Structure 1
Amino acid sequence: MREKTEAQVLDARERLGVLHAAVPDMAVPDGDFDGLAKLAASLFGAPIALVSLVDSEWQWFKAAVGTTETRRRCDESFCLHTVADPDGVFVVLDASRYPLFRHRPRVTDAPFLRFYAGASILLDGQAVGTVCVFDVAPRKEVAPKLIDELRRIAGIAASLLKLKDESRRRALKEAALSREEQRLAMALDAANVGSWLWDIRAGTVAGNGAMMRMFGLPPERLVRARTVFAAIHPDDRIATFSKLRQAMTANEEYDGMFRIGDSGRWLLGRGRVHDRDGKGAPLTFLGMTIDVTDQQAAVQRTRLLLKELNHRVKNTLAMLQSLARQTLRQTSDPVEFMAAFAGRLQSISDAHGLLSDYEWGTIHLSELISKQLRPYVSDYAEQVEIHKDEILLGPDQAVGLGLVLHELATNALKYGSLSVPKGKVVLTARGVLEDGGSVLHLTWTEVGGPPVREPRRRGFGSILIERSLDKVIGSSVKVEYLPAGVTALIRLPL
């Protein structure tokens, strides 16, 4: 039964996916890990030490002390059992007395291995390799402190793998852009919102994938501005450009509707100048577009709905634009801007998608929680615990609360309870009567995560959590950084 379990762990699609995505060159030894192998050997006084990665068939040595081998078959490997062990640690005091190992060639023949200790290297909660030591002499016991140190070395190896993966991804911009296109596809399907940054002096426009598809342009992220304007229907082109110029001259918001020449689809655009030079001349123009063709062509009932929808969309575009400007202040690189902005755009898109399903009426709180938190957990039932009354949310409450939940979940995934496999989030939602009106009291509590320290300065995410519900009078969000986990107290009039 144990061997079957180990085979299942080795062949698990999720584990192999994490391994191959993070380390595509696992067969190549890496001198950056030599110091960790030497440290492990020194701590245990062992002649052999490895930093290795384990796929479904082979154990690959990224660094080795005391051997010239670079790989080993998994069915001959001690480390197979370390990867499969739920605790992430496996120790053999005397392999010659252990039925599972005593007949193996490296035990019965040179180098006559006896002692083994290994700790799993964890990436995204998956055991992808080990840091281990071997000795040709058996041992009677192993001090717990040494096992703890071996775990720490494995943790350092995991961190080093992550840093190398991040560096590799930054170097491969085309691959990163392709992944970003896929990540933004959900936002396109849910809300069809395009985002663009017009560099006026350079005459170029940087846009996300949704914007390029709306204009019928190739998927390049940077195109000539004249190419974008040429895609607008000839009957709408002059009016659109005039409105943009007027907005730039008067320092006002641009708000206009136009058709795309080739497809005939209607787009609603909104934007304004982001920054100017010392003489007041505009340098960059930041904008949003959404496809409103279906609303334009709908029957009278849909047109009535469109009137309300346009009101909500303008409010949301204003929110999106504010988010975009704040995000853009953190980076002037259009590509980095798109990456930082995508998660917040996705959160609002998810809330819009739910509201659209219910014709912009009310939606259940449980549906909003599920939509916002599922992308950040691997097991929703285990990692999200909800105690709630039946609560219905209106459009302003749903969009604002969805953004708050997104920011809390993002922080929990990066630093809090969702950054570890056994961490979880507990949400308690109660509807109470206050001064004759219904009020939602929602508590977000992180459990089982790493110790929490209050940040030294408030970032944009913290400010966004506090201000996302500003449109709902009487609402408030208070975040407490308790050592056991972040707690957020949300009050939301219904």
Structure 2
Amino acid sequence: MLPMLAGVLGSQDRLGASHASLPDMALPDTDFDALARLAAGLFDAPIALVTLVDQEWQWFKAAVGTTETRMRIKGSFCAHTIAAGGAFVVLDASHHPVFRSRPDVAELPILHFYAGVPILIAGKAVGTVCVFDVAARSEVPKKQIDELRRIGDVAASLLKLKDETSRRAHREGVLLREQQRLAMALQAANVGSWLWDIRAGTVACDGAMMRMFGLQADGTASAKAVFSAIHPDDRAATFAKLRQAMAADEEYDGMFRIRASGRWLLGRGRVHDRDTKGVPLSFLGMTIDVSEQQDAVNRTRLLLKELNHRVKNTLAMLQSLARQTLRQTSDPAEFMAAFAGRLQAISEAHVLLSDYEWGTIRLSELISKQLRPYVSDYAEQVELHKDEILLGPDQAVGLGLVLHELATNAVKYGSLSVPNGKIVLTARGVGEEGGAVLHLTWTEVGGPPVREPRRRGFGSLLIERSLDKIIGSSVKVEYMPAGVTALIRLPL
């Protein structure tokens, strides 16, 4: 192959235009068959081709008079058409200095005549429309070449059209996949979308929106059905916000409940288009299910309200504890030790209640929290026989103080003042006429002999009065020689 010809065929610009216009250039395409037949008829030629040409091969997109689908470009007539960039004609190849030695020219059947025009894409010759004949010709009318050139132009237009169709299909496929991913993401996030046609009175909704509003999932609902699904208590405020957003051309942002399910939804959107007078025609928006977030907000409000109530009660209790403790001692160090212990007992109960969002806590956890600071081996020194008992906030705080005072007394004078002493606790839930009642027995075992004190200190008074807020409760302490016993009755 001539160097100049090889350079043209190997041009990266030409090859790039060729491969970009039709990536599957090696495959025949019946859409080009009519052009090949038209070219053959125009020249009354037995062979006609519509080809695409790369650096090594000439691919037949359509062919008349041959079953071949490709041929090597070396020695090809069409290579010269590509190099010429315009019409190329060989009247008698057997006398042509370049082609006369070609096998299909020198041997039977002999190809004598060739006429071809380039297929131009972006100014680059990417292929040809050509005809062959076994008979030589003396001349070719210019009109025939012009018509062949028009067939080449049609082939180029068809290639461009097929390329654009392919690119559009690819873009549409990408867009469709993006839409599917978006729809899946919105569905996973429980987000619904809608378009309200204000004049028609209809709302086009996706599946998520339909489910949120409890509507039939057919894609379109009447505006009346959608608005009727909103809880009556929230409907007027929702309408007012929508009207305000339309009038001020602002974004609508509002929360409301669904009448049937009671779930909270957050709606956002704005006017999508208006008529020439500025009247809203459609409203585009999205709706998000925020029930869990709203429930969390409501729980937080209730917890803050409960916490405020508990803090007030606790402050009043601490003031009373401080006054009573001061009455028992004038020694600051002794006061701090006694008061700090009682403050810690209240704190431990509060921590447990906070962990359970000021609901109920298990009796066993309260006992463990209050007694562990006073024993070196909880499993050996505290023996617990219990039913599964749940305590409310007032019960937990009051009982926590009782256990603290009993433990403090046991460390100073009772069973926990000696290595082998221990506490035996028996807790039973008993059904009585007024409801369930906790019967808790505190028994000290293995401690020194016990004698009833001559006077009752603040600790004894605190044990008896810590549960005063709970009607029907009582604490009775008995100083038995074998150890202190406390009998606690606490309505649940």
Which protein has the larger Cα radius of gyration, Structure 1 or Structure 2?
A: 2
TM bucket (normalised to shorter chain) is 0.3 to 0.5
Q: When the two structures are superposed, what TM-score results if normalisation uses the length of structure 1?
A: 0.39
